[in-house]
Amino acid sequence: MKLIGSRVEQEIREQLKKSNQSLFKSEEKRRLLEVIRSSYPDMRTAYIVHWIPEQGEDIYKILINDSIIAEIELGRFNAEIEPIVVTKTISQYLQGLSKRHQITLAVALDLARQDLKNMD
């Protein structure tokens, strides 16, 4: 999907930047970051592209670097419950994705590629 710099894209870009900062810097996302780091040791950047708060768990869909989507289910109340981690390719994740979520992924990929370029 080609980005056109629309207002919607700008709003999504800001939300994704905040999610990235929250993931790497906030105490409340520390456990999620630990799961990502242990499951994906080559992770250099990550963006939460979708989050579903359920009653007993949180389900996150996270772009790792610019190559894969991690679906992580974390228990909310019991840290002892082993998280469920599923890895998908970008093309697998795109199947059946709504237009809004496709835009979110495209913006996240753009941000991740910028991050990776700045790290080299």
Express each pLDDT in 53-80 by its tens digit.
Answer: 988 899 999 999 999 999 999 998 887 8
51: part of which helix (H) or strand (E)?
strand 46-53
Let me know if residue 1 belongs to a domain: no
Strand partners for 29:
none
Let me know if residue 91 belongs to a domain: yes
Neighbours of 28 (CB within 10 A): 8
Domain span including residue 75: 7-118
- Return the pLDDT at 88: 97
Across all residues in the chain, what is the average pLDDT?
94
In this structure, is the dihedral angle defined by the CA atoms of residues 43, 49, 51 and 52, taken in order, positive or negative? Answer: negative
What is the signed CA dihedral for 42, 44, 50, 54, rounded to 10 degrees?
60
89: part of which helix (H) or strand (E)?
strand 84-89
Let me know if residue 94 belongs to a domain: yes
Let me know if residue 26 belongs to a domain: yes
Neighbours of 13 (CB within 10 A): 17
Let me know if residue 77 belongs to a domain: yes
Let me know if residue 95 belongs to a domain: yes
Let me know if residue 55 belongs to a domain: yes
Let me know if residue 36 belongs to a domain: yes
- Return the pLDDT at 42: 96
Q: Domain tally for the chain?
A: 1
